[in-house]
């Protein structure tokens, strides 16, 4: 069984500042993947970044980076240089991987964090 | 652009009716998963299809069923609709593999049951 906890229901950040969204997880799987998605009010779930449990380096994608601390079971998302368009709901999710790191595409999501970027 | 499209985008149904939601997956992706997202909640896994067979199911009753077709399109069927079925239904496609991972979602279908 897997569990994702996002303890920040809402976060506020000034435009051009950096912000960290928290995510902790619990799993009995030896190998797993961690995801962050952005969901604007339209409903589409937009993929941001992925981190495999076997990756030693933190993942980065443009302005997004994932601060992965395996021993603490945390996978925080850092957004640098926030933009007004970053205002949305953000979800942390994970999946257990099969033998050889095989992905089955079954995600467990947290409750989400609403990010508001102020001008 | 995720390459995953869903239809319809919005629909209203009456309690007790049946609904079919459709998803066209990204080309080459051999798995499709469906999720239910109630208002203010994170998405909940309904089930997944791999090569046209159900490959895992979440905590949803049998009146939630699905199909995956050879062209990687998929359907979610819900029978005997209940008011609590009102939600955003998301389809996600991925490639079952051991090399990397990318799971893409469609824009969702908003279902309202009255």
Highest mean pLDDT among A46-50, A53-57, B8-12, B47-51: B8-12
The reported pLDDT for the residue numbered B97 is 57
Q: Summarize the confidence of residues A67-72 as an average pLDDT.
A: 95
Residues of chain A with C-beta less than 8 angstroms from the C-beta of B110: 43
Q: Is B84 helix (H, G, I), strand (E, B) or coil?
A: helix
**Largest distance between two CA atoms of chain B:** 44
Q: Summarize the confidence of residues A61-69 as an average pLDDT.
A: 96
Q: Which of A44, A103, A111 sits opposite B94 (nearest CB)?
A: A103
Q: What is the DSSP string of A53-105?
A: TT--SPPEETTEEEEEETTTTEEEEEE-S--GGG-EEEEEEEEE--GGG----
Instruction: Please provide the average confidence, as pLDDT, over all residues in chain A.
Output: 93
- At residue B98, does pLDDT exceed 60? no
Instruction: Please provide the average confidence, as pLDDT, over all residues in chain B.
Output: 90
Say how many CB pairs under 8 Å bridge A and B: 82
Q: Which run of H or E residues covers position A2?
A: strand A2-5
User: Residue B48 and residue A43: Cβ atoms within 8 Å?
Assistant: no
Q: Which of A42, A95, A104 sits opposite B107 (nearest CB)?
A: A42
Q: Is A112 helix (H, G, I), strand (E, B) or coil?
A: coil
- At residue A81, does pLDDT exceed 60? yes
- At residue B26, does pLDDT exceed 60? yes
In sequence order, which residues have a C-beta less than 8 Å from that of residue B101 and are 6 or more positions away?
A: A33, A50, A52, A95, A97, A103, B94
d(CA A36, CA A38) in angstroms, rounded, equals 7
Residues of chain A with C-beta less than 8 angstroms from the C-beta of B103: 35, 47, 95, 103, 105, 107
Residues of chain B with C-beta less than 8 angstroms from the C-beta of A21: none
- At residue B100, does pLDDT exceed 60? no
- Distance between A18 CA and the closest CA of chain B, angstroms: 24
In B, minimum Cα distance to A102 occurs at B98
Tokens (6 digits) for B12: 């209203």
pLDDT digits (tens, 9 = 90+) for B32-86: 999 999 999 999 999 999 888 998 899 999 999 999 998 889 999 999 999 999 9
The reported pLDDT for the residue numbered A115 is 98
Comparison of pLDDT for B85 and B93, the residue scoring more: B85
């Amino acid at each position: 069984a897997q569990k994702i906890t996002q303890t920040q229901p809402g976060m506020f950040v000034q435009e051009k500042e950096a912000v960290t969204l928290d995510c902790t997880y619990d799993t009995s799987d030896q190998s797993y993947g961690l995801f962050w998605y952005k969901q604007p009010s339209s409903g589409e779930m937009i993929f941001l970044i992925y981190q495999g449990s076997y990756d030693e380096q933190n993942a980065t994608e443009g302005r997004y980076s994932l601060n992965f601390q395996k021993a603490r079971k945390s996978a925080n998302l850092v957004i640098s240089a926030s933009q007004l368009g970053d205002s949305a709901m953000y979800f942390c999710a994970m999946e257990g991987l099969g033998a050889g790191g095989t992905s089955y595409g079954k995600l467990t999501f947290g409750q989400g964090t609403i990010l508001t970027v102020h001008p | 652009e995720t390459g995953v499209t869903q239809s319809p985008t919005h629909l209203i149904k009456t309690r007790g009716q049946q609904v079919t939601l459709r998803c066209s997956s990204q080309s080459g992706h051999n798995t499709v998963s469906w999720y239910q997202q109630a208002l203010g909640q994170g998405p909940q896994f309904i089930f997944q299809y791999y090569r046209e067979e159900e490959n895992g199911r979440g905590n949803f009753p049998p009146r939630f069923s699905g199909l995956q077709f050879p062209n990687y399109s998929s359907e979610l069927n819900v029978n005997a609709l209940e008011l609590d079925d009102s939600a955003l239904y998301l389809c996600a496609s991925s490639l079952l593999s051991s090399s990397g991972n990318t799971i893409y979602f469609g824009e969702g279908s908003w279902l309202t049951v009255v």
